[in-house]
Structure 1
Amino acid sequence: MITHLKKISLGNWMLIGMVLGVIFGFFLNFYVSDTFIKDIILINNVFYIGGTGFIKLMKMLVVPLVFFSIIVGVASISDIKKIGTIGGRTLIIYLITTAIAVTIAILIASTIKPGEGLNLASVTVANVTNNITMSDTILNMIPENPISSLANGDMLPVIIFGVIIGIILAKLKEETKLVNRMFVEGNRIMMEMTHLVMKFAPIGIFCLMAKTFAGLGLEGVIPLGKYVGCVLLGLVIQAFVIYPSLMVIFTRLNPIKFFRRFISVILFAFSSSTSNATIPLNLEKLSEMGVSRDVSSFTIPLGATINMDGTSIMQGCAVMFAAQAYGIDLGTSALLTVIFTAVMASIGTAGVPSVGLITLNMVFGSVGLPTDAIGIIMGIDHLLDMFRTAVNITGDAICTIIVSFKNKSMDVDVFNGKKKPPKEFKNLLS
């Protein structure tokens, strides 16, 4: 029995925690009439401590995790100078598709309004960025006092400061080898700490869901279902409308041929929920489509690091879900801040399962939204993470094809099946 329990993945434990929390919350809501047990003992003590304690652990990770990962991610892009236009085009395309992804998510969630009906407005909300002008937003990004920004969790200045350090490390290279190694090791430590904290996720999710649904009842299920629908709709649009359109516009190649040959990689990414593990398969399949390995060996690993379109869609939907649940009307400046922060959060985000939930704290913090709502959506995130990863690696591949085509490093006849592909890789999917 214990052996079988150990085989259950963390994502499935999180799902179990969510389901049990919802069931127990409904039980309290409909069948427990004793106020002392229901409200004072369970909701305001046991569940409050368990759920809020887990949220605090997640907040603990945000600033150092983002700071180290941003620096390491930017510093690793030093190869762009070696590749010239290939690196520049790749970076621009990745950042543009990420911005498109989070914009689509915001538009979908603004239309469907998944958070309406959840009624969390009783929670105190402070410092929501809905009345700040765009000029103030831009000025607030400048790290006047980086140490103060790090201490206060002021994420936009932290991101900019991290980007500047990363650029300098990339420029100085060997002269700052020791410092660069320190940041790499710091990033590694934060990733291990993230894995440690996430082990408590099932308990935290159970407490958060039980506390939420003990007060809301059945009406709380509908907003959650609408949130899932918003994320999935955004992912479908990004994967089957945006990406194919970009391929047709820039290469005139047939997207249907791409998806027919790429489906095995998509299925592997879906089942593994990790972009990094899919890198070898992605490289192999692109080689079979006529993409030069000189291009793909740079763009695919880079994409696994900074091209997180699926994650950005989740973050955009989550922001709107939370704002609507708390009755907050985010202004234009706040929405632009969300788009910028989500794009920047994608840089250096590790291609491993559920790390997007950690950086979601950063996106919420950029506009002052309460992070409690993150706990409500965490239980179903494993399922959505599978879809997000499939979209992420699909975007990496299509962007690589575009860059390769534009740099005349692609054999179109191989892509169209008129020639046999080169045997550069062992068939990893056989």
Structure 2
Amino acid sequence: MKKLALHWKIVIGMVLGIIWALLSSYMGWSSFTINWIDPFGTIFINLLKLIAVPLVLFSIIGGVANIGDPSSLGRMGGKTLLLYLATTIFAISLGLILVNTIKPGKLIDEQSRIDNRINYEIWASSQGHEIKDGVNYLKDPAFFERAQQISELTKQDLREVSVSDKLATADKRKETTPLQPLIDIVPDNFFYSLSNNGLMLQIIFFAIFFGVCLLFIPNEKSAPVLKLVDGINEVFLKMVDLVMQAAPFFVFALLAGVVSKMAGDDIGKVVEIFKGLSWYSLTVLTGLLIMIFITYPSILKVFVRKIPYAGFFKAMSPAQTLAFSTSSSAATLPVTMECVEQNLGVDKKISSFVLPIGATVNMDGTSLYQAVAVIFLAQLHMIDLTIGQQLTVVMTTTLASIGSAAVPSAGLVMLIIVLDSVGLNPAWIAIIFPVDRILDMFRTVVNVTGDAAVCAIVADGENMLNYKESKDPAETFDLKS
């Protein structure tokens, strides 16, 4: 068991969690599961939330500051960042179009979604969040009996939930200026922003501002700060690693608890949850495959005519294979650089600059998955997010992707940030956990393919691309190491 890879241990934990959830529903043990197993899942979420904010803060500062001297970047640096930003926004937009078209979260029975909605409203009230779409099922006494059946609240408690939400909604609807969303991004007290996860955009704004300012001060003064930031970032990455070592047990508890809360003692609801999960997986996978086989080749066709469709995939196949097996852009980076330099003919001056930045800030696959996941989870709980709220998802996902570490499962940490940004329950990540590993493998391939495409475009624009089609790119690499 000790020699078993971590991702297989997590898969075993997920399978056991699903089996326990089914058994718990069938045997009527949901109360036991919620009281004695689910708390460990809550601890897992708390640990990830504890790490997420400082990880994003220091990752973004380090990522921006490590770009180098702004005066020496010039045209190449601006083009690189602009291309990475454009592909990320496109990936998120594609994800939102697919999830709003397919509507995977609405493809389960209505009663299950109503129960999910009631649970969401109870949670939102306990956390002081506004009900996102302004609708409150608990205002209708007809749902009180059902709410009592799926929670431990009395009718009086439920009435208080309804009233508190109504007051909160009224406060939020006070007259504001058209530029209020822009004002909300800029913090007036950074430490207050740190203590409130819902103000994540303010933290990201501060991190980018801090990183940019580091670029404009003398190297002898910025170097110690940057060294400290990189050191602190490594500590938080190690925290993620240690927490993930215990993930198999935590995932079992989280999955068993969340499914038990959603399904209660009705085993049919467990089946409905995984029915919705299948549609969710199909939606994400469709978006990722479009990015790999249509979007990036199309961009290359427009900007770099000398690299043929088949030639690009032939050149990058070793890096894509490694990315799929490791689920880590960082671990794949050396092979990505070799593929880009030797098979695509990119000058080393370009690849050594563009690809490391890409491994940090270009997370197209992760961004697409996060956008789909947030809307899917909202649909699953009968929450209709407005266009404005979905644009918040786009903005938060784009900026959070800069701080998404290029290691397996880091996307889940960032997903907590995105869920928090729109006032949704971070514990819902347990719902998509069963299929996360396989989707993580595909979205890493997207990230690596996007890095290579942007690198080729920048190299061609700088006249540093010398593409010559090779016979067998895989012979250059030892993929077993």
Query: What TM-score comes out, normalization by structure 2 length?
Result: 0.82
Rounded to whole Å, the distance in 1 between the matches of 2:370 and 2:363 is: 11
Rounded to whole Å, the distance in 2 between the matches of 1:16 and 1:81 is: 51
For residue 232 of structure 1, what is the amino acid of its counterpart? L
Structure 1 match to 2:274:
221
SS at match of 2:68: helix
2:238 matches 1:238: no
1:93 to 70, 77, 83: 83
Rounded to whole Å, the distance in 1 between the matches of 2:215 and 2:93 is: 30
Structure 2 match to 1:156:
201
For residue 60 of structure 1, what is the amino acid of its counterpart? L
2:450 matches 1:408: no
Say if 1:127 and 1:367, in contact at 8 Å, map to a contact too.
no
Say if 2:24 and 2:30, in contact at 8 Å, map to a contact too.
no
1:143 to 166, 175, 187: 187
Structure 2 match to 1:275:
329
* Pair member with larger Rg: 2
Say if 1:21 and 1:207, in contact at 8 Å, map to a contact too.
yes
Rounded to whole Å, the distance in 1 between the matches of 2:318 and 2:395 is: 33
**TM superposition shift of 1:13:** 1.6
Rounded to whole Å, the distance in 2 between the matches of 1:127 and 1:188 is: 36
**TM superposition shift of 1:349:** 2.2
Say if 2:105 and 2:276, in contact at 8 Å, map to a contact too.
yes
**TM superposition shift of 1:83:** 3.4
Say if 1:137 and 1:333, in contact at 8 Å, map to a contact too.
no
1:127 to 130, 133, 144: 130
Say if 2:393 and 2:421, in contact at 8 Å, map to a contact too.
yes
2:16 to 20, 24, 29: 20
For residue 270 of structure 2, what is the amino acid of its counterpart? G
**TM superposition shift of 1:164:** 0.7
Paired positions, count: 413
Equivalence map 1:324-335=2 (5 Å): 324-335=379-390
Rounded to whole Å, the distance in 2 between the matches of 1:191 and 1:74 is: 18
**TM superposition shift of 1:150:** 0.8
Q: Percent identity?
A: 38
Structure 1 match to 2:33:
42
Structure 1 match to 2:49:
59
Structure 1 match to 2:162:
none
Structure 1 residues 112, 82: closer, same or farther in 2, change over 3 A?
same
For residue 202 of structure 2, what is the amino acid of its counterpart? P
Equivalence map 1:207-218=2 (5 Å): 207-214=253-260, 215=263, 216-218=269-271
Structure 1 residues 9, 127: closer, same or farther in 2, change over 3 A?
farther
Rounded to whole Å, the distance in 1 between the matches of 2:373 and 2:180 is: 24
Unaligned runs of 5+ in 1: none
Say if 1:104 and 1:234, in contact at 8 Å, map to a contact too.
yes
**TM superposition shift of 1:148:** 0.7
Equivalence map 1:317-328=2 (5 Å): 317-328=372-383
Structure 1 residues 52, 399: closer, same or farther in 2, change over 3 A?
same
**TM superposition shift of 1:41:** 2.3
Post-superposition CA distance 1:100-125 (Å, at most 9, x none): 11111111111222222362212233
Unaligned runs of 5+ in 2: 135-172, 264-268
Structure 1 match to 2:476:
427
Structure 2 match to 1:8:
4
Structure 1 match to 2:144:
none
Say if 2:38 and 2:258, in contact at 8 Å, map to a contact too.
no
SS at match of 1:137: helix
Structure 1 residues 28, 39: closer, same or farther in 2, change over 3 A?
closer
**TM superposition shift of 1:395:** 0.5
Post-superposition CA distance 1:41-99 (Å, at most 9, x none): 222x1232122221111111121111111111111112554232111101100011011
**TM superposition shift of 1:427:** 3.3
Query: What TM-score comes out, normalization by structure 1 length?
Result: 0.91
2:302 matches 1:249: yes
**TM superposition shift of 1:400:** 0.5
Structure 2 match to 1:78:
68
1:106 to 82, 96, 103: 96
For residue 372 of structure 1, what is the amino acid of its counterpart? A
For residue 100 of structure 2, what is the amino acid of its counterpart? S
Structure 2 match to 1:389:
444
Structure 2 match to 1:352:
407
Structure 2 match to 1:192:
238
Structure 1 residues 340, 128: closer, same or farther in 2, change over 3 A?
farther
**TM superposition shift of 1:245:** 0.9
**TM superposition shift of 1:187:** 0.8
RMSD of equivalent CA atoms:
2.1
1:166 to 211, 220, 224: 211
